[in-house]
Amino acid sequence: MRAKLFYRLLLMSGLGLALIGGAVFMPHSASSRSPVSNPVLRQALDGELGRVPRNTGAPAISSGVMYSLLDQTGTLRRRGDRTGFHPRGVEITGTEGCRNEFTGG
């Protein structure tokens, strides 16, 4: 009788651990099409893009955070592609502008 109870408890705890492990390690799909999950940041981004009117009572979002959001959503890349301007790469020959050369030991 004791052995039967032990095996049942062992089986139930093993199944419980397997369910918890599956829930933790299973990939989750996004619940919305927006890559921004924070509702405050999503509202600020929608206001910046003109999708919704800006909320006057909403907290101000810094420009650094806003540019990160625009970059994450691909808006900056799409805006750059629309302009058609593709600058050449910066070429640095020799040194980066310092004329001093230190030699010796």
- In this structure, is residue 15 part of a structural domain? no
Looking at residue 102, the DSSP 8-state letter turns out to be -
- In this structure, is residue 44 part of a structural domain? yes
Distance CA 38, CA 66 (A): 13
**Digit-coded pLDDT (tens) for 35-78:** 788 888 888 898 889 998 988 888 888 999 999 999 988 898 88
- In this structure, is residue 94 part of a structural domain? no
- In this structure, is residue 65 part of a structural domain? yes
Helices (H) and strands (E) in the chain, counts: 4, 0
Task: Report how many domains make up the chain.
Answer: 1
- In this structure, is residue 53 part of a structural domain? yes
Full domain range(s) for residue 41: 33-80
pTM of the model: 0.49
- In this structure, is residue 60 part of a structural domain? yes
- In this structure, is residue 64 part of a structural domain? yes
